[in-house]
C-alpha cells in the first residue's frame, strides 16, 4: 500500500526505505559510509528534518546542505554519476513506496537538488 509524504511519520518511513537502498548501493554506500562516515541515526534525523522543511514547511532544519556536500567532495571528489545514481534511487523508491501530490513534489525537488549539487559541486571543466 502506498502512502503520500504528507506527514513526518510518512517522510521518515520513506527516508528509511530510501537509505536502506542507498547503503546497499555499490556506488553510493562507500560515499556515505567510508568517505562521509555518517552516523546513521543522526543522519536520518537530519534528512527527515530537511524533507519535512521542504515538503511540509516545518522549521528546525538549519544546516547548509551545499557546504556539507562540499566538505565530502574535498575528501573524495563527487562525479556527476553519483548525483544521477542518488536521484535514480530516490525517484524509484518514491515511485515504489509513495503516491500523491507530496510524493510528486518530492521527486521534483530531488531532481532540482541533484542538478544543483552536480552543477555547483562538480562544475564542468
Question: Going by C-beta distance under 8 Å and a sequence separation of 6 or more, which residues neighbour residue 11?
Answer: 5, 48, 51, 52, 55, 56
Question: What pLDDT does 62 receive?
Answer: 83
Residue 124 has pLDDT above 70, yes or no: no
Tens of pLDDT, residue by residue over 105-115, are 999 999 999 99
Share of residues in the chain with pLDDT > 70 (%): 98
Name the band, by pLDDT with cuts 50, 70 and 90, for residue 125.
low
CA separation for the pair 46, 40 (Å, rounded)? 10
Question: What pLDDT does 35 receive?
Answer: 95
Question: What pLDDT does 64 receive?
Answer: 83
Question: What pLDDT does 109 receive?
Answer: 97
Tens of pLDDT, residue by residue over 64-108, are 888 899 999 999 999 989 999 999 999 999 999 999 999 999 999
The pTM for the full model equals: 0.93
**SS3 of residue 104 by DSSP:** helix
What class, spelled out in words, does domain 8-121 have in CATH?
mainly alpha
Question: What pLDDT does 61 receive?
Answer: 84
Amino acid at each position: 500500500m502506498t502512502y503520500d509524504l504528507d506527514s513526518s511519520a510518512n517522510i521518515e518511513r520513506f527516508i528509511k526505505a530510501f537509505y536502506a537502498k542507498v547503503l546497499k548501493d555499490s556506488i553510493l554506500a562507500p560515499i556515505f559510509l567510508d568517505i562521509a562516515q555518517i552516523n546513521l541515526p543522526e543522519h536520518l534525523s537530519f534528512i527527515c528534518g530537511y524533507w519535512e522543511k521542504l515538503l511540509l514547511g516545518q522549521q528546525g532544519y538549519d544546516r547548509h546542505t551545499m557546504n556539507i556536500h562540499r566538505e565530502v567532495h574535498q575528501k573524495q571528489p563527487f562525479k556527476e554519476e553519483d548525483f544521477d545514481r542518488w536521484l535514480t534511487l530516490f525517484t524509484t523508491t518514491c515511485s515504489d513506496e509513495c503516491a500523491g501530490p507530496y510524493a510528486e513534489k518530492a521527486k521534483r525537488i530531488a531532481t532540482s537538488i541533484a542538478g544543483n549539487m552536480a552543477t555547483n559541486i562538480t562544475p564542468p571543466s
